[in-house]
Amino acid sequence: MRAAGSLAAWMPGGAGPPQSVEYMRALRPLFRRDSAAGMSLLGAVVRPAVAARMAAGQEVFDEVGAHVTGGAECAYADEGVTAEARDGRIRLYGRGVPVLNGARGSLLVAVVRSAGAPWLAVADGTGTPRTRGIGCDAVDLDGVPVRVRAPLPGADPPYVVSGALIAGGAVGGVDDALRTVLRFALSRELYGTTVARLPHARGLLAGAYADLLIADALARAAVTADAPGAGAATWAATRLLTGILRDLATLLGARFYLREGPYAGFGAHWRALRALRAACGDPRRCTPGAIPPAAELAALAGHPPPLPPGVSVVSRLSHLDAEVRTPLAPDAADPLLRDLTARLESGVSLDLDPTPVDTHTPIPPDRGDDQGDMS
């Protein structure tokens, strides 16, 4: 994000709703280049800005907006912050709070749930003791005075909307990861053929592509839908996206595990996007009660992609958290792979709305579906 230019660009504009497919799509090129940068936006801008937009108080939104458009980052605390009135001011307390971007953000935006309905507090985020974490940081709040505050329409809606935006943005990171692994599979020779011609690998690649399209449909639906549907769709999208990355890691073999070399970019996406499951996929927050069955999740996808016979949205959503995801059989895999390879060659994104992407790596020719002997 920092490399990608101004933070201000990520502040949802004016009085418009933060629930916008355009906003989500705008995040994708950033994720495609650097998922870690995309994920760090969650705490620095997206979550605080969405909450500020949804809070009933223009002052809060203005404060966050001024901070971000001035080029500074926020820190966002979603749980564990309490407030008390002391010395004539409302002050924030809480120890070991997991805070998104806590170590960097200079404006603290916190959901306070200590008494009654939740509300949003904005406070000076500098000068508090912090411990750097893996995806979020610990910040000790010991009486930091609240600058401005406003009631929230419940704590979950801002959480779900910002989660959906980030999950939708992360489609861009997984798009790049799939592109990388497809290139590997097309060029890696094993047993006298290429990995891309091994039926198991083909089934995984095609499944990954189908899932990416479905995750996009779910994320689009989630950013505009009402909770709890939006929460469940976001939850399912994050499971699909992380499931795709698992399959792609299997395909990439040892190179997945290396932080340097031509495929290091894949590992960087993988590492950054692990946090998706925690950042916008908490089932307690997204889907109060049981996780909906696959058919209901599929219905949430709104405008699902056209898929070939032998694969359906419901079937792809049926075993979201299984240890292994079954590779698609050739009748379903082959048409998907043809489409996927064509998109790779023409340099367009792999989501529901193909748009040109930067590609710098030469693409090896697809040797197609013709099944040769493996000697």
Partner 1 sequence: MPERYPPFTDLERLESHLGDPHDERVVFSHAACVRLDAAEEFPGDICAHLDRWGVPAYYVPAECGGALRTLEHGLHLLRAIARRDLTVAIGHGKTFLGAVSAWFGGPEIQELVARWVLAGVPVSWGLTERAHGSDLLAGEVTVEETDGALRLTGEKWLINNATRGGVTAVLARVHGREGPRAFDVVYADKAGLAPGTFRTLPKERTLGIRGADISGIAYTGAPVPEGNRVGEPGTGLETVLRALQLTRTMCAGLSLGGGEHALRLAMSMLGPRAGEPEARARLLDAYADHLAAEVVATVAARCAHLAPAELSVVSAAVKYLVPLRTDALIRRLGDLLGMAAWDGGPEAVRFDKVARDHRIVDLFDGNRVVNLYAIVNQLPLLAAACARPVEWPQAAGLAALDRPCPALAPGRLRLVAARGVTVLRALPGAAERLREMAARRPELRPLAEVAAEVLARARSLCERTAALKPAPALVPVEHFEAAESFAAVFAAAAAVEVWLATHGSKPVAADDPRWAGGAWVRMVVHRLLGTPCDEPAREAMWTALTAQHREGMLLSLFPCRLAEGGMG
Ligand X SMILES: Cc1cc2nc3c(=O)[nH]c(=O)nc-3n(C[C@H](O)[C@H](O)[C@H](O)COP(=O)(O)OP(=O)(O)OC[C@H]3O[C@@H](n4cnc5c(N)ncnc54)[C@H](O)[C@@H]3O)c2cc1C
Q: Which residues of the shown chain bind ligand X in the complex (CB under 6 A)? A: 188, 190, 195, 198, 200-201, 250-251, 253-254, 257
Residue placing its CB nearer to partner 1 in the complex, 26 or 249: 249
Q: Single out the segment in contact with partner 1 by CB under 8 A; choices: 42-50, 195-203, 295-303, 347-355.
A: 195-203
Nearer to partner 1, 51 or 328 (CB): 328
The residue among 289, 305, 275 whose CA lies nearest residue 173 is: 275
Instruction: Judge whether 355 and 348 are in contact, CB under 8 Å.
Output: yes
User: Does residue 66 touch partner 1 according to CB under 8 A?
Assistant: no
The Cα-based distances of 306 to 207, 213, 282 in angstroms read 14, 9, 29
Amino acid at 61: F
x/- binding map, residues 251-270, to partner 1, per CB under 8 A? --xx-xxxxxx-----x--x
Tokens linked to 277: 């499951």
Q: Using DSSP bridges, classify how beta strands 89-100 and 189-190 pair: parallel, antiparallel or unpaired.
A: unpaired
The region of 21-29, 64-72, 191-199, 342-350 touching partner 1 under the rule CB under 8 A is 191-199
* Shortest Cβ 3–partner 1 spacing (Å): 21
Within positions 310 to 329, which residues make up the interface with partner 1, using CB under 8 A?
A: 321, 323-324, 326-329
The SS3 of residue 91 is strand
CB 120 within 8 A of CB 150: yes
Distance, CA of 136 to CA of 280 (rounded, Å)? 13
Give whichever of 113 and 147 is closer to partner 1, judged by the CB atom.
Answer: 113
Closer residue to ligand X (CB): 261 or 356: 261
What is the residue-wise DSSP string for 114-148?
SSSS-EEEEEE-TTS-EE--SSSEEEEEEEEEEEE
CB atoms within 10 A of CB 86: 11
User: Toward partner 1, which CB reaches closer, 151 or 283?
Assistant: 283
Q: Name the site residues for partner 1 (rule: CB under 8 A).
A: 78-79, 96, 98, 131-138, 188-191, 193, 197-201, 203, 249-250, 253-254, 256-261, 267, 270-271, 274-275, 277-278, 281-284, 321, 323-324, 326-330, 371-375
